[in-house]
Structure 1
Amino acid sequence: MFRAAFVLALIIAAGSAHAQVPPPCGGSVFEDRNGDGRRNAGEPGLPGVRVSDGVEIATTGRDGRFTLPAATGRAWFVIKPAGFAAPRRVDGLPLFSVEARSATASAGRERAGDAYSPCPSFALSRAQGRGRGLDVLVFSDPQPKSLVDVGYYLRDIVEPLVRKDGTPAADLGLTLGDIVGDDLSLYPQVTAATMRLRAPWLHVAGNHDVDAAASRDEDALDTFHAQFGPDTFAWEESQADFVLLDDVVSRPGMKPAYIGGLRDDQFAFLGHYLPTHDPHRLLVIAVHIPLFPDGGETFRPADRERLFALLKDVPHVLVLSGHGHVQRHVDHDAGTGWHGATALHEFNVGAACGAYWSGVKDAEGIPDSTMADGTPNGTARLHVGADGAYTLAWQPARITADAGPLTRAMRLHAPAVLRRGAYPAWGIYANVWMGLRDERVEYRVDGGDWQPMKRIEQADPWMLAENARDDASPALRGYDRSPEAQVSTHLWRGALPTSLAAGQHRVEVRAFDPWQGEQHADTAYRLEAASP
């Protein structure tokens, strides 16, 4: 009797457990030939396309069908393949995902009554081939705190990049987090501004994009998900594959309130995706918090080592990060846990808002907002060619689309006047915004021989002078004053000669940018005769 009851209990328990497992989710990916986002007669399924729930990855069969676990609460997304375009939402953002709880309302769902209707179907259209490389606009930290700041973002960053002929400003756009400055109600306004650039735009979540009321990390990005879609996904172009990762681990009630790191589900997704990555393409890892130690371990070392182990054998990798409101390049090696065949390059992109929309306003009412390391606010451009080759450039704010990214590459700082014959203890400083640690930077005076400048790690004198002007002013010079100067990682110095004739002297500086070639700037100083 006891044995029979025990067996019956096991059967009931097994049936109950089985009932709690959601059935597999089946959907399809199809070619949207008329662009309406719905599958119509004559629109075939697309084979060989990958779809994911953020952990598992399924590949569509010959009929375009796929099956994934119906994991409650996870978003499903299509990994947009090279050669195809995703449809656009009403607000202009690409439609490539659907929340699990609203999957049946997908804009691209199959006909009503289809056996697969509880799960999403994704529409893709064929994209025109590019004879050139891939042009990517990279924004980081627009971070408006108010509608006033959204106006700065629109006028300072977006509008100068809008092309007069109405074509997209780039083939693809990325924003590396801190899309807003804690006020998540500004998402629609920021999106409307960004979409004026007409490029398909992808977003990473930042620490200022979390829900203030969230009591745990799992709920911290609910508003972000509703506005932008999944926080971890892949997107592919012919020249590069992009993996965007939320690397902000929220810790409500703790200090600090967040730390850089990755979740187990993200590692699982990477483990499934990376073996499918085309090794001839560049792999771009886009995150918000930098992977390198930044005055302390801002990214969990164990997570960095785990990520690096997954990336070790990928031949062409570029990491793009934001968060710091300064600009720098870091080559990861064994010291940070990287053991690949060559150094791993991380470009820590400067902020679109610069120093949080601070500083003295110009004639157009826009704050200067130079960052603490002396880099002007602006945007980055990534150009990807064949076989993983890429170039990078920094485009200061309000450099127009027609002018290109190379109009300004550095800022020079020198004294206006020196005493003729004085000990040559004063220098010309070049803040080369995209400068690498081993970059060749030279200067010459009055057309003489070129002399090497020395890379130094200290605060930019121009920024220190701006701090001094703020200190000395009896009234506020702007809504928020410029930030305190911090050490710059891209500053060079050369001593100014004082033995030349009295009068004005021209100083030229050239920097040999490995991506954009030789860059030039010039300034002048004056020598005066003086008596004790």
Structure 2
Amino acid sequence: MRRGLAAVLWLACGAALAQAQGGVVFDDGNGNGVQDVGEAGVAGVAVSNGRAVVRSDGQGRYTLPIAAGQIVFVVKPDGWQVPAGAEGLPAFWHQQSPGEPSTLRHGGLPAGQPSDRVDFPLRRAPTPGAELEVLVFADPQPKSPADIDYYRRDIVAPLLDRTRATLGLSLGDIVDDDLSLYPAINAVTASLGVPWLHVAGNHDIDRDARDDAGALQTFRSHFGPDTYAWEEARATFVMLDDVIHQPGSKPGYTGGFRDDQFAFLEAYLPTLPTDRLLVLGMHIPLFEAAGRDTFRDADRERLFALLRDFPHVLVLSAHNHTQQHWYHDAGTGWHGAQPLHEYNVGANCGAFWSGVKDAAGIPDATMADGTPNGHATLKVFDGGRYALAWHPARLRGGDSAFTGAMALHAPKVLRAGAYPAWGVYANVFMGGDDTRVEFRVDDGEWKAMAKVAAADPRLLAENVRDDLADALRGYDRSPEAKPSAHLWRGALPTGLGVGEHHVEVRAFDAWQGEQRAATRYRLQDAAE
């Protein structure tokens, strides 16, 4: 076929699929969602169909091609708010009807009449404070209403009326394959009264979808676009679907990005200032464990090329149900001026809501690396600076060996004068390779603890208790302990006097400063 004729036919087909549509971005002063007389358009706001990005003109108007089944969304600009939608989540998007009813088990996209105009109301936001605080959730992953109740009581309820966050993020696996649970879990999250952004995880896909293109229909009907951006005073957030659905393969997914996502990034990222933090939220980590191929290398390198000139970048990922910090360098394809920090966030559900229940009926949920379940916070300051923290869901009142920053394990008793082969272990939840961890005994000299690639003895002991139990101790037993990326050991002295000795550990957190915990052990004489 001649090239000219092919181009004409392509344009004709494209016109049938993606008509030029538009609307207005406006200052909704009275909050009724309609542009009334006197409510001006907002100029210079980014609007996207997930591939192309346009800016509203001086009257707030935009024009953008929108195909059947496509989403159009506004990039919420700094200094503005968007209204809440039907499920209490930010209404910054419009799902264009696919035209045909969905056959997917969990509903897919609702059918209806396509819209030829989409307006986006904005309202002025309060003046920001000295810092931006963000709640960061990962893998709440309920499989039942009972799990949603754990999420409500364990993660959300303690934050009600206490959080000062401006924004919340959930990094995928919002549910555990049962997509009918979306409305129930959204109601719990929305009760916080914080604008909340979601990305999809591998347990959020329509498993009966024939291909990757249709795998997030039900997710999109509840949460909107799977790839989008959101702007705050001190940071820009880009949320990315990085789960490639591979039906018929094992595993049925891999990490990576689509061409339309790269088109969006290539259009949007060059418009951003580089003096503020750029946060990328996704589900599957960009780094890979030794010997595993979990992310498409070419996609990671293509993303890194787009980020190379940004001096302040933070990647937030989830998926592993453990916690660690990873710094990308040339070994993973990063060629920026400084290593790229990826924080792989621990799970709300910990080890899938497993383990022995406490007095309140909530499972222990400790993760396989010994990290307690909980949530993270991100604080962003001027100039791209930020601080991270992990917040365990539950602390044991009066237990100085288990704090918000670390958990200690030590033997209760040792033989006085024995070879000092036994140690105190400190699982420092936010620790990394450069974290300094020290201990002392009986207010003595501080000594360095050694970072070890080992399983947390606290969880190993729980594994043994599960093994020795004659009956199930919970719905699911605690996970098998695996080597932790943030465990330190110090050898306990046995040459001290018979009796009890006080052990103190301190860790120097890069963002929260010095953190301490304490425990005790006893030395005892033993007959031959």
TM range (shorter): over 0.9
Aligned to 1:282: 277
Aligned counterpart for 2:183 among listed residues 166, 177, 188:
188
Aligned to 1:152: 150
Aligned to 2:126: 128
The answer to whether 1:333 aligns with 2:364 is no
TM-score for the superposition, normalised by structure 2: 0.93
Given that 1:133 and 1:386 are in contact with CA atoms closer than 8 Å, whether structure 2 keeps it comes out as: yes
Q: Which runs of 5+ in 1 are unaligned?
A: 1-5, 104-115, 401-405
Aligned counterpart for 1:264 among listed residues 259, 264, 268:
259
Given that 1:176 and 1:203 are in contact with CA atoms closer than 8 Å, whether structure 2 keeps it comes out as: yes
Q: Encode CA deviations 1:405-449: one digit per residue, 9 max, x unaligned.
A: x95100000000000000000000000000011110000000001
Residue correspondence of structure 1 range 51-450 to structure 2 within 5 A: 51-101=47-97, 118-163=116-161, 169-295=164-290, 296-398=292-394, 408-450=404-446
**CA offset at residue 393 of structure 1?**
0.2
Given that 2:200 and 2:241 are in contact with CA atoms closer than 8 Å, whether structure 1 keeps it comes out as: yes
Aligned to 2:476: 480
Aligned to 1:520: 516
In the TM superposition, structure 1's runs of 4+ consecutive aligned residues that sit over 6 Å from their partners are: 9-15
**CA offset at residue 74 of structure 1?**
1.6
Aligned counterpart for 1:35 among listed residues 27, 31, 36:
31
Aligned to 1:530: 526
Change (3 A) 1:19 1:488: closer
Change (3 A) 1:219 1:44: same
Identical pairs, percent: 60
Change (3 A) 1:199 1:399: farther
Q: Which amino acid aligns with 2:131?
A: G
Provide the secondary structure at the position in 2 that maps to 1:492.
strand
Q: Encode CA deviations 1:324-344: one digit per residue, 9 max, x unaligned.
A: 000000000011110000000
Change (3 A) 1:170 1:71: same
Given that 1:27 and 1:117 are in contact with CA atoms closer than 8 Å, whether structure 2 keeps it comes out as: no
Q: CA RMSD in A?
A: 2.0
Change (3 A) 1:28 1:506: same
Aligned to 1:112: none
Given that 2:356 and 2:363 are in contact with CA atoms closer than 8 Å, whether structure 1 keeps it comes out as: yes
Q: Encode CA deviations 1:467-522: one digit per residue, 9 max, x unaligned.
A: 01100111111110000001100000000000000000000000000100000000
Q: Which runs of 5+ in 2 are unaligned?
A: 100-113, 397-401
**CA offset at residue 298 of structure 1?**
0.7
Change (3 A) 1:55 1:32: same
TM-score for the superposition, normalised by structure 1: 0.92
Distance 1:283 1:389 in 2: 10
Change (3 A) 1:302 1:454: same
Change (3 A) 1:36 1:13: closer
Distance 2:213 2:56 in 1: 29
Q: Which amino acid aligns with 2:285?
A: P
Distance 1:396 1:16 in 2: 57
Change (3 A) 1:215 1:531: same
Provide the secondary structure at the position in 1 that maps to 2:97.
helix
Distance 2:8 2:276 in 1: 52
Distance 2:83 2:492 in 1: 58
**CA offset at residue 24 of structure 1?**
1.6
The answer to whether 1:454 aligns with 2:450 is yes
Q: Which amino acid aligns with 2:478?
A: S
Distance 1:188 1:450 in 2: 52
Q: Encode CA deviations 1:309-331: one digit per residue, 9 max, x unaligned.
A: 11111110000000000000000
Aligned counterpart for 1:491 among listed residues 487, 491, 494:
487
Provide the secondary structure at the position in 2 that maps to 1:151.
helix
**CA offset at residue 217 of structure 1?**
0.6
Q: Which amino acid aligns with 2:303?
A: L
Distance 2:7 2:176 in 1: 54
Change (3 A) 1:274 1:424: same
Given that 2:202 and 2:243 are in contact with CA atoms closer than 8 Å, whether structure 1 keeps it comes out as: yes
Provide the secondary structure at the position in 2 that maps to 1:379.
strand
